[in-house]
Structure 1
Amino acid sequence: MQDLLSCANPKVTREMNERLIEPFSVDEIKSAAFNIGDLKAPGPDGIHAIFYKKFWSLFGE
């Protein structure tokens, strides 16, 4: 199996991986939250995006 895997070209470069593992910035999180439709639930918690938008000042900064 290792021989087979060693022949495969990685889809994610080292540079891409380094960028992917960087911590998120507040601006990135805010941008993502505010670009979601208001009634979309982003995960299993079921909290709609409008909640995060309305109360951003409480937990966003």
Structure 2
Amino acid sequence: MVSAPSVILLAIAIPSGALALFALVFFLLGRRMRRLRREGRVTYSAKTSSDSNANFTG
């Protein structure tokens, strides 16, 4: 049987490890997307273009 302190340690370590992994992945993806955007290889489509008749003022 597993002792209580090790269960508590696992209950804290596993979610925090997963959180750190997600943070690392999103950080690296964000850096890569920024670099590709700077080089002009990735572009976002504009919400409104210059010839759009949408008017969001007031």
- TM-score (normalised: structure 1): 0.28
Greater length-normalized contact order (CA 8 Å, ≥ 6 residues apart): 1
Greater helix fraction, Structure 1 or Structure 2: 2
- TM-score (normalised: structure 2): 0.29
| Larger of the two Rg values belongs to structure | 2
